[in-house]
Amino acid sequence: MKFNAKDLALLARRPSGYFDKEGKLKICRVVGDEKLIEPRERWCRLKGNLLFLMKNKSSEVSEVVILERCWVVEFRSKTDVSIVLKFQSGEPDLYLEAASKPDCESWAVALGEANSEGLQNKIQQLRRLIMEIKEERSSDEARQFLPSSQVDSLGEPQFTSIQRIANEPKLEFSLACKDLVAATRDRKLNTFIQVSVVHPAEHILTRYSSTEIVEGTRDPLFLTGVTFPPEYPIYEETKIKLTVYDVKDKSQDTVRTSVLPDHKEPRADVGRSFLGCTTFRVGDLVKSKEQQLTLTLRTSDGGKTVGTIEVNLVKMGELEDGETDHITTDAQDQKCALVRECTATEGISGKDNLPSLNAVLKNPICKLYRFPTSDNKWMRIREQMAETTLSFHVPKELINLHIKEDMRRNQELKDLGELAPHWDNMRKSVIAHCDQMLSMYQDTLAELGKHTGSSFKSSCSKGEKTLEFIPINLHLQRMHVHSPRLKDALYDVITVGAPAAHFQGFKNGGLRKLLSKFEAERRNTGYQCIYYSPENTAKAKEVLSNINHLQPLISSHADLLLNSASQHSPDSLKNSLKMLSEKTELFVHAFKDQLVRSALLALYTARPGCVLKKPAVPRNSAEEGGDVQHQDHPSHIKRQDSIPHHSEYDEEEWDRVWANVGKSLNCVIAMVDRLLEKDNVSNSKEGEKDPSAADCKVLHAGGDWYEQLYPLVITLKDCMGEVVTRAKQSMAFVLLQELACGLPQCLMLTLRRDIVFSQALAGLVCGFIIKLHTGLHDQGFLQQLHTVGLLVQYEGLLSTYSEEAGMLEDMAVGISDLQKVMFKVIEAKSEDFLPIITGRREHYVIEVQLPAKMFELLPQEIKEGKLLRMYPVLFNVGINEQQTLAERFGDTTLQENINQENLELLKEYYKLFTEKMPPDCLPHFQEQNDLKGLLENLHQNIQAKKRKNVEIMWLAATICRKLNGVRFTCCKSAKDRTSMSVTLEQCSILRDEHQLHKDFFIRALDCMRRGQIVHDAESGFSPKGGGGSPPTVPVAARSKYLRKAPTQQQEVCNDHKLVVSIFPSLTTAFISEPGTLLAPSLCADSIAKHVLSCNAELLNL
């Protein structure tokens, strides 16, 4: 091109206010992924489509870049502050690096708007805004048409609310177009509708949602509808604007249309063309006789008619008239544009929207669909995804319990009394390490207490230490189906990232491998400590827990017994004695174990100066271990790697101390019986002679009862105290050995296990509460819940290669630990419905609170506090490209073993179910033979060891649903593979259970995946609710291995790039780093500000 160098140099030296933007940038040329030279700092000045590059602000211009036929690539990560200019001519890319992220974003917007294409888009957008403003009346003019009753004393208009069913969406409607006019006669239209809302109070246009793209027809009927949740501020006076676009470059449109934060407007459209638009009032639709509007689409200048659009009001409980024969089935190449979906600030719509459920679910995202059935009728589907407050509530409650438990354990170690130097040094070392871990738990709890913002942890925060106890992307995915001839149905899936210790890493594997290795090393600890098996250490913890629980109860019941005796109340005395007897029997039974005896021997030998070759004088203090009888024993333990034994040790001493509790209780029982018997005889005689004398006898007898029972009760307490002291010390000594044998690995493994268990438990509590609310009116399910327990099925999509193998090991242990969790349903005493967690490691009880009205619906067994068991099972099938490497060059034994072990657990649950439950408790469409066949089929598929056998996942999910279980789907971060699996499962359910038309399976899948991608992008890529910019297309192609997915895909993987051709409904994503797209994506902040300023100027005009 020709240019005048002198004029350009003069232009570059103009005053600063002349330029559109200027500042310092580091610049270099890039070929491919390699920079030709290191970036050099330059002073950059932008004027129009000319970018001047200068060494400094006062120097001569050294280079001029013409910003035409180029596009801007902005890297959307939190830390990247660079952008790249790419040129259609093929010349080297221009790399620009800013000083900060805001500066980078502002440069990206300025450069994107600098060329003529950006200017044309801005002009088109302003023209549309002018047309919209012309359509809007000013607030004063609008007030003339409002009834006087709608204007308050301050002159502000009062808007008419839409009357809808409680907890249901305020407004839902479907869309269809007819007789659309194309720009050229032979062109086939690929159209979608953009839905915007004009709020009556603010007169501001807000982009709300959009439909899917329907290809190759001028009469598109859209399967994706529009829904406004209950809390959305929409009134009869609200206006809805519908804009129809023709997508020219579908792949470019899909990639470039990103999900923007609420405060930003979308950037100018690139791969689409405007066809026409129309506007309607919500009140006109709601009050229309047929609840349908037929609107005319017009061009931006309001002159030319380009077709019509039909708006149909939707009610989920009503059938939609009309057949579906006219819908096009040519949807194999359909592509979906990505937009921001509708959200609500509180609650979740649906029939189960109750206060207790709203306490755990928040920020729902809603989608509405209509799909044809095989008999050409319509079914309606409402899809919802919600966050849960339990993501943070459960971990915080759990960490608080860990802190209390560890503080109690540390105190028990200190209370062991005097020990020999070797054991005393070991105790000091253990307590020092435990105090460090305790401090770490306390710091973590304090940091979580400061957390504000999002109620879930996004995937990009999975490596943060302060959030390591929080599950990743924990959400409820619900599908509500209304079919023409079938009963309405709800299908829930909990999606969550695999429970794993991401911050600690997987260099040495996960918990499954680490625990096995640690246990093997403990067996060879040498002379330092005594080896106790994991079963014995678990039993020691159980004994200590029983002591801490039962001792205060027995003491309390003993005091109540004495109080009843002082009041001379026979009935109260009987009841108090009954409770005291029951708790004391449990207390005595807790010590019927050889472990206590052997631990007492081990503790005795650990006392200082323990030389037992000559008889020793017993000491009076139980803390000093002086209650042991005269005996001989070697001065050292002969077998340091096992529990010590000695034939001369008087084990009967412990039996006598332990038996004294039972004998003391028998004495109390005998005395109470004798007192009651005398009282009955005395009352009958005295009552016949003189009533007043009988009253005096009662007062005197009351004193006698108390005086006679008091010494016996004190003896019982003393005997119990002696047993407690010895048992506590012996069990604490066992725990000392467990900790000392593996410092610091033991504590680190405990920490890792706590982290994984915390993530798993948060998901389980969420799933249980949702399942309980859904099944409150199902008596068969409630009977199954308290008779058998609840099946919880986890679908894992992790590979067995590299780090994901370690994640799978963590996940397997965490889910297995959920077997030790019990649930209890209680009546809520306040408006706080969040669950309460009690217990200790390896034994937790979750108390779920229900309002009084809901609590009354439960069976008597559950209302009386029966503990409800959980049966968690995990089936994993790796489906991504890493699993291909594992199957060809690695090892899949881990996955095979996990699937086989959990198959046995599933069979065990089914056996219990068939033994304890009547056949009629199965859902009406299920039969016992169906389950037997499915279990056998699952067994055969697991034994087949077939590569990427996704039939295992499908069978396990089907069995879970038939057994009223809770479904979980997990992958690394609960985004890509999880979303593809969930949407495939939903469409398969619609096909198999609700007669979805076979020709619409792929199109229905595309519609749902379009919505799912947006949901996941909004939830998974914005840390702590921030305004991060998510990629618009996930790496969802990995799910090509899912059941009945299309087969025309390819994968190319190397160290730097992954090119994935995914389902026909999606585009190709080019990824240089995980979660980073190389597609052009301009920041729209500047455009939004410019539009707002133009809006204000035009309003003034």
pLDDT tens figures, 1019-1029: 443 333 333 33
Q: If you search the block for the tokens 């929409």, which residue do you land on?
A: 234
Contact 175, 223 (CB under 8 A): no
Distance of CA 931 to the CA centre of its chain: 29
Work out whether strand 475-482 and strand 378-388 pair parallel, antiparallel, or are unpaired. antiparallel
pLDDT confidence band for 621 (50 / 70 / 90) = very low
Q: What is the pLDDT of residues 245-292, one digit of tens each?
A: 998 755 544 433 333 444 344 444 456 788 899 999 999 999 888 889
pLDDT confidence band for 1070 (50 / 70 / 90) = very low
Contact 843, 765 (CB under 8 A): no
Question: Edge to edge, what strands does the sheet with 868-876 contain?
Answer: 361-372, 378-388, 475-482, 489-495, 966-970, 790-796, 868-876, 821-827, 843-850, 836-840
Question: Partners of 28 in the beta sheet?
Answer: 95
Q: Report pLDDT for 307.
A: 92
Q: What is the pLDDT of residues 627-650, one digit of tens each?
A: 333 333 333 333 333 444 444 445
pLDDT higher than 80, residue 665: yes
pTM listed for this prediction = 0.71
pLDDT confidence band for 935 (50 / 70 / 90) = very high
What angle separates helix 594-605 from helix 534-566, to the nearest 10 degrees?
A: 100
pLDDT higher than 50, residue 622: no
- In the chain, what percentage of residues exceed pLDDT 90? 33
User: Which DSSP state fits 1079?
Assistant: S
Cβ-based burial of 987 (10 A; exposed 0-12, middle 13-18, buried ≥19): buried
Q: Which residue has the higher pLDDT, 232 or 652?
A: 232
Give the lowest-confidence range in 112-126, 554-568, 1073-1087: 1073-1087
Letter string b/e over residues 159-171, b meaning 16 or more CB atoms within 10 A of that residue's CB:
bbebebeebbbbb
Residue 822's alpha-carbon distances to 519, 785, 865, in angstroms, are 27, 12, 11
Q: Report pLDDT for 62.
A: 87
Cβ-based burial of 702 (10 A; exposed 0-12, middle 13-18, buried ≥19): middle
pLDDT higher than 60, residue 1076: no
Letter string b/e over residues 544-556, b meaning 16 or more CB atoms within 10 A of that residue's CB:
bbbbeebbebbbe
Q: Quick check: is 970 catalytic?
A: no
Per-residue pLDDT, averaged over 400-419, amounts to: 92
Residues 6+ apart with CB under 8 A from 1061: 1037, 1048, 1049, 1050, 1068
3-state secondary structure of 624: coil
> According to DSSP H, which parts of 150-278 are helical?
250-256
Contact 285, 313 (CB under 8 A): yes
pLDDT confidence band for 316 (50 / 70 / 90) = low
Give the lowest-confidence range in 619-623, 738-742, 817-821, 856-860: 619-623
Q: Report pLDDT for 478.
A: 93
Q: What is the pLDDT of residues 134-176, one digit of tens each?
A: 555 433 444 443 444 444 444 445 778 776 666 678 889 999 9
Distance of CA 111 to the CA centre of its chain: 40
Most confident of 630-639, 854-863, 1046-1055: 854-863
Residues 6+ apart with CB under 8 A from 666: none
Contact 982, 367 (CB under 8 A): no
Q: Report pLDDT for 132.
A: 62
Q: Report pLDDT for 939.
A: 94
Residue type, 289: K
* Dihedral sign for Cα atoms in the order 195, 196, 198, 199: positive
Letter string b/e over residues 518-528, b meaning 16 or more CB atoms within 10 A of that residue's CB:
beeebeebeee
Give the lowest-confidence range in 5-14, 346-355, 473-482, 975-984: 346-355
Three-state SS sequence of 459-496:
HHHCCCHHHCCCCECCEEEEEEEECCCCCCEEEEEEEC
Q: Report pLDDT for 1.
A: 55
Give the lowest-confidence range in 181-185, 363-367, 493-497, 747-751: 181-185
* Dihedral sign for Cα atoms in the order 277, 283, 284, 286: positive
Q: Report pLDDT for 239.
A: 92
Q: Report pLDDT for 349.
A: 40
Per-residue pLDDT, averaged over 930-953, amounts to: 91
Give the lowest-confidence range in 54-68, 78-92, 203-217, 548-562: 78-92
The one catalytic residue among 366, 971, 1007, 1083: 971
Contact 869, 790 (CB under 8 A): yes
Per-residue pLDDT, averaged over 886-902, amounts to: 91
Cβ-based burial of 37 (10 A; exposed 0-12, middle 13-18, buried ≥19): exposed
pLDDT higher than 70, residue 691: no
Q: Report pLDDT for 595.
A: 84
Contact 476, 491 (CB under 8 A): no
Q: Report pLDDT for 248.
A: 74
Cβ-based burial of 664 (10 A; exposed 0-12, middle 13-18, buried ≥19): buried
Arithmetic mean of pLDDT over the chain? 77
pLDDT higher than 60, residue 313: yes
Contact 772, 851 (CB under 8 A): no
pLDDT confidence band for 475 (50 / 70 / 90) = very high
